[in-house]
A and B are shown apart, each in its own frame.
Chain A
Amino acid sequence: MAQRKPIRRLLKKPIKLEDKLKNTDKLSGQIQEQEKESVEFSFNELHSQVANAFGNSADLKFIEGKRDERNIIIVFLESMVDATSLKETTSKFLSSISQKLQPLNNVDELSSFCKEVFGGASYKIVNGSDETINAIINGSIVIFVECIDKALAINMMNGEKRSVAEPTSQTVIRGPKDSFIESISTNVSLIRRRIRNKNLHFEQYTIGEDTQTSVYLGFIKGIANEAIVQEVRNRLKKIKVSAIFESGNIEELIADKTFTLFPLALNTERPDSVAANLIEGKMVILIDGTPFALIVPAVFVNFFESPEDYYQSFFLGSFLRMIRYLSFMIALLTPSLYVGVLTYHHELLPTTLLLSVIAQREGIPFPAVVEVLVMELTFEILREAGVRMPRVVGQMVSIVGALVIGQAAAEAGIISNIMIIIVSITAIANFVSPIYSFATASRLLRFLLILFAAILGLYGVLIVLVAMVAHLSSLRSFGVPYLAPIAPFIIEDQKDVFVRFPFWTMKKRPKYLRAESEKKVFTSSPPSPPPMKGGNTS
């Protein structure tokens, strides 16, 4: 603790850094005025002071050189800088500096010298301990020269990252196969390669007092609604936490309402999906260190859209979308309807079905509701085990689960066969959701519904459903009503809700996003064959 204290003191105020990444050509200024009260390093005690600040971290390295009796110290964090370029540049720097070709008496001279030596690398003059330490943390090497009160920071962040791979959680059959990775610069480049438009802006925020995570807010100026963008900006600025590791953290911190089961921001690892949403007029929030980007504002119907809807024939796209809505209802309602009908409304079943269900349930010791709860919980346990298990063991779990729980329980007469069907249908339907986080709603609400079905039958189910719809209609995502094109009903937006219309009919952006420019498709006629020559054209 004692060692960390100095840093805490130094980093009292959140600092916005200007980023030097090559891919972000358009940065809007987020630099705050540095507070001048920060401690100045004195060159003589530099070594110990910096080492103190970092608590003598093992990866803090110093390289020392000399020119004209003036000491030169290069400080950097070994873990953050690129080893090869470091080696190359420092040797180059040290060798050329000793050749005394240029005067090196003030910071201007130092910087012009560095310009020559380091060619393309981005550098920055730092002043004071705060800036210096920040530069070091962010992977720069900082060059101190005796008698010059300012230092020079050269960014040499190492590029340790995995390569772009196929998405793992949002797969498609037809469509781009790349997905985001943990490096934010790569992610930005993946988006920018899809939208080559100067109006695509990325604004940088540094969030997390301890983690100093870079967060980018991306939007297309002239399309995204200014008011909503401003709202997102404000919310990002308001965040004051110590650590951000994943988009989920940000999502919870900027959502309009956190006491809800429904996600108020879309998360995706697909750059094509992000690009499509940007074009619609939404915003994207990228977080360094996670392959999941947030798309805001998100409305209910967005969670039933897969990018593939737009890559396939619109008939199939529409059909699949309706299947998804159906699956959501199935996943949400089947177990509770089972309980409600079997224990309260026997009359709803046709006679033969009722008799066959009675025959099946003969001798089952549990009431229907207990049976359902036991099986649903068992399934949730199996599922969680399947996700957390090492991949090799995972398959075993599914086999054991299917065999033991399914067959054996039914054969032993503990669980009825129809129950197994219900649980399986529910489970499979739950996996249909294209955005994984959305399934949580149906996963958890299901239990509430089962409870109410057990108490009040179908009436209870309906009470919960109405309450759920009311809750949904009270939600907003960055000011946009969550059930937007349905309630409030917007007739123009119905082209892309339950069915997907052909592209040439979708001339405008969704109205609920209040985009700055509404028009999307400029040619608006359906494709037609060229007029026939010589034939009967009438």
Chain B
Amino acid sequence: MKMEKENISLSQLLTLLINFLLGSAIVVGVGGSAKNDAWLAILLGGLIGIVIITLNHFFILRFPDKNMFQVFEFCIGRKITIVFTFMYIVYFLYISCRVIRDFGELMATAILPNTPIEMMSLTFCLLMGYIMYLGIEVLARTSEIFTPYLFGFLLLLAIFLFASGSVEFEQVQPILGEGIMPVIKTAFTELVFFPFGEIIAFSVVYTSLTNKKYSLRVSILGVGLATFLLCGSSLLMIVSLGVDSVSRSNFPLLSTARVVSIGNFIERIDAFVVFIIMLGVFIKGSMFFYAGLKGLEYIFNLPYRYFAFPVSMIISLFSILVSVDFADHIQEGIKLVPYYLHFPFQVVFPFILFLLVMWKQWKGKSKGEEHGSKKTNSQIIKETNKT
């Protein structure tokens, strides 16, 4: 059956990418195990992120009209693909739950301590469900509208921190005190999965892009900008709080915002910071949600909007059930998720897919030669796109 065609412009892709990468990464803080050099680790991670998104583009260039699931189908047939797709759906929705739980914990800790976290999760997921019901286009536009505010508020936070005299640049020293190894280790064992590896969720978005010519450049720009912002915020945390305090904070950006105090008037602005964070989290949660919905669309051959509200309720429920307490949640995120989920879904499966595509195309080519026809590689691709 024919699905509705949706359009996403390049600028929308850019804002989606930035919000997605900032999303929960800015809530819980990344690169903490590199201590003083977290920002260097983030920069390195950003480079890896650019490599990842370039690899993603490998597929986009070959199959401009197919999302990840359809490429799987092209390689291994629909039946096995359904199994794969189902696993991916669970993965995407699980990560979406985690993102929402991150935010729920932040809200319950800092803003509304007596409100049940279920309430936060329910309202948040209803909102996500509503937007997904309206479609990815609407999500993209919403992100486009809120991104300038996100930038503005981050800039404002930096200005406030400088103005309140909390910033001491010496705190960033010693740079590379323990050598380069901790930085590399952090970048390759943590940052590569979270947040940069999660770009895999975008593999279902690229099909909706209107202008595919510049998509690689824009994606790289997006990852670059997000890295820059993450790195900036990490630096800001270190120079205004000190490394020890940052490493002891559950939500470093929140702790940083709590330091702001200008002339007894601009003080205690952490509630505002939480709301900036909320926008990023919102985009990130929705993107994973959308990726999951796209999988459902593939399996059931029904427009994904039908699933929006029911699945949003599932996410809401599981964001609560996913862990018992905060420590459980964080431990799960550090010890289990990267190795048992991120690694296979972000690295192994896409790599298998890559090999399959290569094999299939090589086979197609040699078959073509066998039969004496002069089909080129690109022609095969064109044909497969038509189907």
Which interface residue of A462, A481, A487 has the most chain B CB atoms within 10 A? A487
Contact B107 A459 (CB under 8 A): yes
Contact B145 A467 (CB under 8 A): no
Given contacts A348-B271, A462-B275, contact A487 B112 (CB under 8 A): no
Tell me the nearest residue of chain B to A353, going by C-beta: B265
Contact A487 B142 (CB under 8 A): yes
* Residues 1-31 of B at the A interface (beta carbon under 8 Å): 9, 11-12
Q: How many A-B residue pairs have CB under 8 A?
A: 86
Q: Does A310 contact B (CB under 8 A)?
A: no
Contact B11 A348 (CB under 8 A): no
Which interface residue of B112, B142, B265, B272 has the most chain A CB atoms within 10 A? B142
| Complex alpha-carbon distance, A487 and B8, angstroms | 10
Q: Does A470 contact B (CB under 8 A)?
A: yes
For residue A344, which residues in chain B have a CB less than 8 angstroms away from its CB? Answer: 112
B278 contacts which of A347, A462, A474 (Cβ < 8 Å)?
A462
Tell me the nearest residue of chain B to A481, going by C-beta: B141
Tell me the nearest residue of chain A to B143, going by C-beta: A487
Name the prevailing secondary structure of the B interface residues.
helix
Q: Does B387 contact A (CB under 8 A)?
A: no
Contact A456 B123 (CB under 8 A): yes
Contact A474 B135 (CB under 8 A): yes
Q: Does A171 contact B (CB under 8 A)?
A: no
Contact B111 A457 (CB under 8 A): yes
Contact B138 A488 (CB under 8 A): no
Contact A488 B11 (CB under 8 A): yes
Contact B127 A467 (CB under 8 A): yes
Q: Interface size for chain B: under 10, 10 to 19, 20 to 34, or 35 or more residues?
A: 35 or more
| Complex alpha-carbon distance, A443 and B358, angstroms | 59
* Residues 346-364 of A at the B interface (beta carbon under 8 Å): 347-348, 350-352
B127 contacts which of A352, A458, A466, A486 (Cβ < 8 Å)?
A466
Contact B130 A459 (CB under 8 A): no
Contact A463 B138 (CB under 8 A): no
B141 contacts which of A350, A467, A487 (Cβ < 8 Å)?
A487
A474 contacts which of B120, B134, B265, B267 (Cβ < 8 Å)?
B134
Contact A348 B268 (CB under 8 A): yes
Contact B264 A466 (CB under 8 A): no
Q: Does B124 contact A (CB under 8 A)?
A: yes
Q: How many residues of A contact B (CB 8 A)?
A: 27
Distance in Å from the Cβ of A339 to the closest Cβ of chain B?
A: 14
Distance in Å from the Cβ of B104 to the closest Cβ of chain A?
A: 11
| Complex alpha-carbon distance, A504 and B3, angstroms | 45
Q: Does B307 contact A (CB under 8 A)?
A: no
Q: Does A311 contact B (CB under 8 A)?
A: no
B-facing mask of A398-431, CB < 8 A → 1, else 0? 0000000000000000000000000000000000
Given contacts A474-B135, A483-B145, contact A350 B107 (CB under 8 A): no
Distance in Å from the Cβ of B49 to the closest Cβ of chain A?
A: 24
* Residues 128-165 of B at the A interface (beta carbon under 8 Å): 130-131, 134-135, 137-142, 144-146
Which interface residue of B264, B268, B279 has the most chain A CB atoms within 10 A? B268
Contact A474 B138 (CB under 8 A): yes
For residue B144, which residues in chain A have a CB less than 8 angstroms away from its CB? Answer: 486-489
Contact A488 B141 (CB under 8 A): yes
Contact B268 A459 (CB under 8 A): no
B146 contacts which of A457, A469, A481 (Cβ < 8 Å)?
A469
Contact B145 A486 (CB under 8 A): yes
Q: Does A345 contact B (CB under 8 A)?
A: yes
Q: Does A186 contact B (CB under 8 A)?
A: no
| Complex alpha-carbon distance, A390 and B142, angstroms | 45
| Complex alpha-carbon distance, A463 and B103, angstroms | 14
Which interface residue of A348, A466, A467, A486 has the most chain B CB atoms within 10 A? A466
Q: Does B221 contact A (CB under 8 A)?
A: no
Q: Does B373 contact A (CB under 8 A)?
A: no
Contact A345 B9 (CB under 8 A): no
Distance in Å from the Cβ of B279 to the closest Cβ of chain A?
A: 8
| Complex alpha-carbon distance, A347 and B123, angstroms | 24
| Complex alpha-carbon distance, A347 and B135, angstroms | 38
| Complex alpha-carbon distance, A462 and B142, angstroms | 13
B145 contacts which of A350, A456, A459, A473 (Cβ < 8 Å)?
A473
Tell me the nearest residue of chain B to A350, going by C-beta: B265
Contact A466 B268 (CB under 8 A): no
Which interface residue of A456, A457, A481, A488 has the most chain B CB atoms within 10 A? A488
Distance in Å from the Cβ of A162 to the closest Cβ of chain B?
A: 44
Contact B112 A347 (CB under 8 A): no
Tell me the nearest residue of chain B to A491, going by C-beta: B11
Tell me the nearest residue of chain A to B275, going by C-beta: A462
| Complex alpha-carbon distance, A194 and B265, angstroms | 54
For residue B317, which residues in chain A have a CB less than 8 angstroms away from its CB? Answer: none
For residue A463, which residues in chain B have a CB less than 8 angstroms away from its CB? Answer: 123-124, 127
For residue B268, which residues in chain A have a CB less than 8 angstroms away from its CB? Answer: 347-348
Tell me the nearest residue of chain A to B14, going by C-beta: A489
Contact A350 B138 (CB under 8 A): no
Contact B271 A469 (CB under 8 A): no
Tell me the nearest residue of chain A to B145, going by C-beta: A487
Given contacts A350-B265, A463-B123, A489-B11, contact A457 B112 (CB under 8 A): yes
Contact A345 B271 (CB under 8 A): yes
Tell me the nearest residue of chain B to A352, going by C-beta: B264
Given contacts A348-B271, A459-B120, A483-B141, contact A470 B112 (CB under 8 A): no
For the complex with contacts A348-B268, A466-B146, 14 further pairs of A-B residues with Cβ separation under 8 Å are: A348-B271, A456-B115, A457-B111, A458-B271, A458-B275, A469-B146, A473-B145, A486-B144, A487-B144, A488-B11, A488-B12, A488-B141, A488-B144, A489-B9
Query: What would 10 A/B residue contacts be, using CB atoms closer than 8 Å?
Result: A348-B271, A459-B275, A463-B127, A470-B127, A473-B134, A474-B135, A481-B141, A486-B145, A487-B141, A489-B9
Give the A-binding residues of B (Cβ under 8 A).
Answer: 9, 11-12, 107, 111-112, 115, 119-120, 123-124, 127, 130-131, 134-135, 137-142, 144-146, 264-265, 267-269, 271-272, 275, 278-279, 282
- Shortest beta-carbon contacts, A-B, top 8: A473-B141, A487-B141, A347-B268, A487-B144, A474-B134, A470-B131, A474-B138, A489-B11
